[in-house]
Amino acid sequence: MQAAFLTRHGGPEVIEVGELPRPQMGSQDVLVRIRFAALNHLDLWVREGLPHLKLTYPHILGGDASGTVEMVGKEVTTIKPGDEVLVHPGLSCRACSACLSGWESLCPQYRILGEHLSGTNAEYVCVPYCNVFPKPPMISFEEAAAIPLVFTTAWQMLVKRAKVKPGDLVLIHGAGSGVSSAAIQIAALYGAEIVVTSSQDQKLAEAKRLGAHHTINYRNQDFLAEVKKIAKRGVDIVIDHVGKDFWEKNIRVLKWGGCLVTCGATSGAVTETDLRHLFFSPIESSRFNHGIEGRLPGDFESSCAG
C-alpha cells in the first residue's frame, strides 16, 4: 500500500511516501480503506521527536481517519465490508479495571495511532472492531476525519473530568485549535457560557459562530482582566493547552470550586506556580489522564478546585 512515513525525526523533509506492506489483521480486527486522514499537532510533535517516544521505523503518522471497511476478522459480526466509518485512534486492552470503568486512556497498554504505533497516513489502517464507528450520514468523509482525536480529548476534559453543566462559565484558550473548537461546541451543547481567547480576530469570529459568547484577543488584551469584567468571581472551568505562558493567570482566573484541565503545553512545559493561589483558593490537586493526545508518566496533568 502507499503510505507517508518516517525513518527519522526532523522537519517536513523527513516525510517519505512509498510502498509499505498492508497491515496484518487479527480475528477481531477491521481493515479500513482510508478516504481522508486529519492532521493534528500531535503529528508534528511525533515527527519532530518526543523525549518519551521510541518509534519503530518505518513509522506512519496520523491518528484520525474516515473511510470504508475493506475486510473484517472472522470474529467480527457487527461490522461488514462497505460500511462507512470513522476511526477512533485510542487503543487499549479492553479488559483492565480502567477500561471496564470507562477510562480507557488510563489503561497501562493505552496507545494512540500515529504516536505509539503506525497510523492513518496510508491507504489502509487496521484497528480492533471497537475502534470504528459509523460515519453519520449528514457529514462528509472529510468532516468525519476531523472528529475523533480532538473531540475525544475535549469531551474527556469537559464532560468526564470538569463535569460541565448548564450555566458554567468556561474559559477556552486557543480558539482556532482542534481541541478548542471541539470544546466550544461541547460546552455550548451543555448550556455553558463560553469565553475564548486567540491572537487572531478571524479565529475569534469563527469561535463565535461555533457558540462562544465572549472573545478576547490576548495580543492586545489581558485575558485575566477581561474575564474579571465578565465575572468578578472568576470562571468555573479553564480548558488549556497553551501551558507556560498562561499557567499562572489560569490559576488566578478560577473561582473557588473551579477546575483547570490541561492537555498540552505549546508555549512551554515548565512553569512556576505561586502556591498561595492554591491553598488560599483553595484548589485541590488531582491526577488524571489529560486526554487521548498522549501522556507522560509522572507528569502533573490537572488541578481541580474543590
Look at residues 138, 156, 181 and name the one whose alpha carbon lies nearest to residue 40: 181
Q: What is the pLDDT of residue 266?
A: 76
pLDDT digits (tens, 9 = 90+) for 127-161: 999 999 999 999 999 999 999 999 999 999 999 99
Beta-ladder partners of 159 = none
Per-residue pLDDT averaged across 193-208, rounded?
95
What does the alpha-carbon distance between residue 157 and residue 261 come to, in Å, rounded to a whole number?
6
Q: Which segment of 224-228, 256-260, 302-306 scores lowest on mean pLDDT?
A: 302-306
Q: What is the pLDDT of residue 34?
A: 98
Judge contact between 166 and 191, C-beta under 8 A: yes
**In sequence order, what E strands does 26-64 have?**
29-37, 59-60
Q: Which of 10-14, 252-256, 265-269 has the highest mean pLDDT?
A: 10-14
> Residue 184: pLDDT above 60?
yes
Q: Which segment of 73-77, 106-110, 193-197, 261-265 scores lowest on mean pLDDT?
A: 261-265
Q: What is the pLDDT of residue 281?
A: 61
Q: What is the pLDDT of residue 279?
A: 64
More confident residue, 305 or 21: 21
Beta-ladder partners of 284 = 304
Per-residue pLDDT averaged across 269-276, rounded?
74
pLDDT digits (tens, 9 = 90+) for 76-116: 999 999 999 999 999 999 999 999 998 888 899 999 999 99
> Residue 301: pLDDT above 80?
no
Residues 6+ apart with CB under 8 A from 262: 240, 241, 243, 290, 301, 302
Q: What is the pLDDT of residue 102?
A: 87
Residues 6+ apart with CB under 8 A from 126: 23, 24, 25, 29, 30, 31, 32
Per-residue pLDDT averaged across 122-126, rounded?
98
What domains can be seen in the chain, in order of their start residue?
2-144 (3.90.180.10), 151-305 (3.40.50.720)
Q: What is the pLDDT of residue 272?
A: 78
User: What percent of the chain stands above pLDDT 90?
Assistant: 70
Q: What is the pLDDT of residue 298?
A: 31
Pairing state between β 214-217 and 283-286: unpaired
